[in-house]
Amino acid sequence: QQPVQSPQAVILREGEDAVINCSSSKALYSVHWYRQKHGEAPVFLMILLKGGEQKGHEKISASFNEKKQQSSLYLTASQLSYSGTYFCGTKSQAGTALIFGKGTTLSVSS
């Protein structure tokens, strides 16, 4: 049931782009993306509901392909502040608890 994230880790220089993938073996109602800094709680980035929509948040955007049960998070022109661990969380039904992937650690250096 746990979604699978890839890659496990990404190392970037400022200004470079990255893509983080999340896939599930179950049909999905929604996909949620969070970023967590060391020692802090996860911070909500965006939610994608079934319908194949793409959403954006500054230079971070995401897509959701419900047929393939996959979502991707796109980080463009990365900044130092993007460093952290990114988690995708999935729901198969509205109102149920999020089930999280194992996370992708992103390190951005100057």
Partner 1 sequence: GAVVSQHPSRVICKSGTSVKIECRSLDFQATTMFWYRQFPKQSLMLMATSNEGSKATYEQGVEKDKFLINHASLTLSTLTVTSAHPEDSSFYICSKAPGQGRTDTQYFGPGTRLTVL
Q: Report the interface residues with partner 1, using CB under 8 A.
A: 2, 29-30, 32, 34, 39-42, 44, 47, 49, 87, 89, 91, 94-95, 97-103
- Tokens for 32? 């949620």
Within 13 Å, how many C-alpha atoms sit on residue 44's CB side?
6
Least distance between partner 1 and beta carbon 33 (Å): 11
Q: For partner 1, which is the closer residue by CB, 39 or 110?
A: 39
Tokens 């729901």 label which residue? 91
Q: Least CB distance from residue 12 to partner 1, whole Å?
A: 20
**Other C-beta atoms lying within 10 Å of the C-beta of residue 50:** 16
Complex with partner 1: residue 75 or 88, whichever CB lies closer: 88
Could you tell me the two tokens for 40?
């802090």
